[in-house]
Amino acid sequence: MLKKIHILLEMIKFRHSVFALPFALMGAFLAARGVPSLWVFFWVIIAMVGARTAAMTFNRIADYRFDAANPRTEKRAIPAGEVSLKESWLMVIASSALFFLACWMLNPLALFLSPGALALTFFYSLTKRFTWLCHLILGVALAIAPLGGWVASTGSLVAYPWVLSLGVLFWVTGFDIIYASQDAEFDRKVGLYSMPASLGRKNAFCLAVSFHALAFFLFTLTGYLQGLNIIYYIGIALTGSALFYQHLIVNPRDLSRIQVSFFSMNGFISLTLFVATCISLLMTG
């Protein structure tokens, strides 16, 4: 049982929850202008875990034939036979139910918005079949995270800082373009769409740089519009350094350090912005 749980968690890259969860909590903290209630804090975490688990498992189901044909992904759990399609679908159903339960426990607006939010994350998994804008669609899906945290805390969209979601959108789009560069040749071969496959790695990386520069500006603007103090801007400086380092160690000609770029740097960025926001809000009251 423990081995199966480990395989399932690895299949959905559970540790990558560090990308979206801090932004959902950031939205809740900003809405509360400090620490939200324990009830909201708990159910936001449950909702994010449920939604991400459902979305990632659906992604693995949708792509398992391509994963089996791709040397980089052929050892993933489903093509390797470690997890069956039946088990995977049960995981999608159970985690979706957990997500809806969490939204129901939060407030009526959260529950009302939940089907559309989950449907968008599922839809992303199909987009590489027909558009190289798939990275932007993933960005939109993850940009819902801070909005969800805000709705969980307030039950309303009034005064929501949309620039924060736009920042998340362009940040995610940028790093997903970089990550997709690993499969550019394979995607072209089998007829899948991505920016690296369709535009070439060099052009795709230029777009990623532009998107990350825009994300940095939008994250900075969020702090200004929300009246956050110097601690937040220290976090912004660290975020900018991490974005720069990410592009310094990975380029179209050398993808050997892409795992450091994808997981370590992006996990650092989301956690840094969340912690900086929390401290700033607590200091300013």
The answer, yes or no, to whether residue 89 has pLDDT greater than 80, is yes
Q: In residues, how long is the chain?
A: 285
Average pLDDT on 89-94 reads 96
Give the pLDDT of residue 212: 97
Give me 54's structure tokens. 């459902």
Give the pLDDT of residue 273: 97
Q: What is the pTM of this model?
A: 0.94
Distances (CA, A) of 37 to 84, 106, 121, 247: 39, 11, 27, 38
Q: Residue 179: what residue type?
A: Y
68-82, 145-159, 176-190, 250-264: segment of lowest average pLDDT:
250-264
Tens-digit pLDDT profile for residues 162-193: 999 999 999 999 999 999 999 999 999 999 99
Say how many C-beta atoms besides its own lie within 10 A of residue 220's C-beta. 18
Average pLDDT on 14-34 reads 88
The rounded distance, in Å, linking the Cα atoms of 78 and 84 is 6
Residue 210: pLDDT band with limits 50, 70, 90: very high
DSSP 8-state class, residue 260: I
Helix, strand, coil shares of the chain, percent, nearest 5, are 80, 0, 20
- CB contact burial 42-67 (16+ within 10 A = b; e otherwise): ebbbbbbbbbbbbbbbbbbbbbbebb
Give the pLDDT of residue 15: 66
The rounded distance, in Å, linking the Cα atoms of 238 and 273 is 9
Contacts for 45 with CB less than 8 Å, ≥ 6 apart: 21, 25
Give the pLDDT of residue 4: 67
The answer, yes or no, to whether residue 16 has pLDDT greater than 70, is no
Question: 206-209 — which CB contacts under 8 Å span 24+ positions?
Answer: 207/174, 207/177, 208/173, 208/174, 208/175, 208/177, 208/178, 208/247, 209/174, 209/247
Answer for the pair 187, 193: CB distance below 8 angstroms, yes or no.
Answer: yes
Nearest C-alpha neighbor of 197 from the set 19, 57, 66: 66
Name the H helices within 107-229. Answer: 108-127, 134-154, 162-180, 184-190, 195-199, 201-225
Nearest C-alpha neighbor of 44 from the set 115, 121, 105, 118: 105
Share of the chain above pLDDT 90, in %: 85
The answer, yes or no, to whether residue 80 has pLDDT greater than 70, is yes
What totals of helices (H) and strands (E) does the chain contain, helices first? 14, 0
